[in-house]
Amino acid sequence: MQVDMRVLELLSSKICHDLVSPVSAINNGVELIEDIGGDVVDEAMKLIGASAAHASRRLRLFRMAYGRAGNEASLPLRDVRQTAEQYMAGGKVTLNWPDDQPSEALTTQPGFLKTILNMTILAEEALAYGGVVSLRAATEGDVHACRFEVVGRAAQLSEAMEQALLGTAAIDDLSPRTIQAYITGRFAETFGFKLSANQSIQDRLDLTLAGAPALIAV
């Protein structure tokens, strides 16, 4: 997959933005101990511990979603599911990912796990006010598929995000708000999957990932 330098810059900015809050909280906890000490030590240590765990969970998911780790054929599905669940933990979005989903016909395809993790991040971004993301089995004709049902107040992708997802947006028009949609769509494309977004009813967005022709059921 060929990536424009602007895409790399925007993706790097997104990662830094998502990590700055927990890392800053760790620094604040250390400063509390240094400046005040005494009675605030326990409170500061709790802040440091929670923030460090938050940063660690996000780093683990970013490594799988954007880095080489997500390409490893030996990567267990349970590790990917756990990473996604931990990424959402403690936030405004609840992730429902059944143990038997997605089907093996999808999970054994190169790049599927990387793409589904990027879809997880995108689903969270579509829920500005919080909500629930549920992974379901789906079909696209005779092709295996899975679907994220994204439900919550104003659950949606903006027009700019949809264009980025489909790859019809100009690189120069991408922004930190649309970069996740763009990179998710390009991962799906690169690995031979079809990714679609459908908003048939209010407060619900469906993100469906369908397998390549090689996955046609028999």
* Tens-place pLDDT, residues 135-181: 998 877 778 899 999 999 999 999 999 999 999 999 999 999 999 99
* Whether residue 215 has pLDDT greater than 50: no
pLDDT confidence of residue 70 = 60
Q: Which of 52-66, 88-102, 120-134 is the least confident region?
A: 52-66
Is this model's pTM higher than 0.75 or not? yes
SS3 for 49?
helix
Q: Domains in the chain, please, with CATH?
A: 5-215 (3.30.565.10)
133's tokens: 């993301």
Cβ distance 144 to 103 under 8 Å?
yes
Measured N-to-C along each axis, helices 179-190 and 159-166 cross at an angle, to the nearest 10 degrees, of 30
Measure the CA–CA gap between 202 and 47, rounded to whole angstroms. Answer: 38
pLDDT confidence of residue 154 = 95
111's tokens: 């790049």
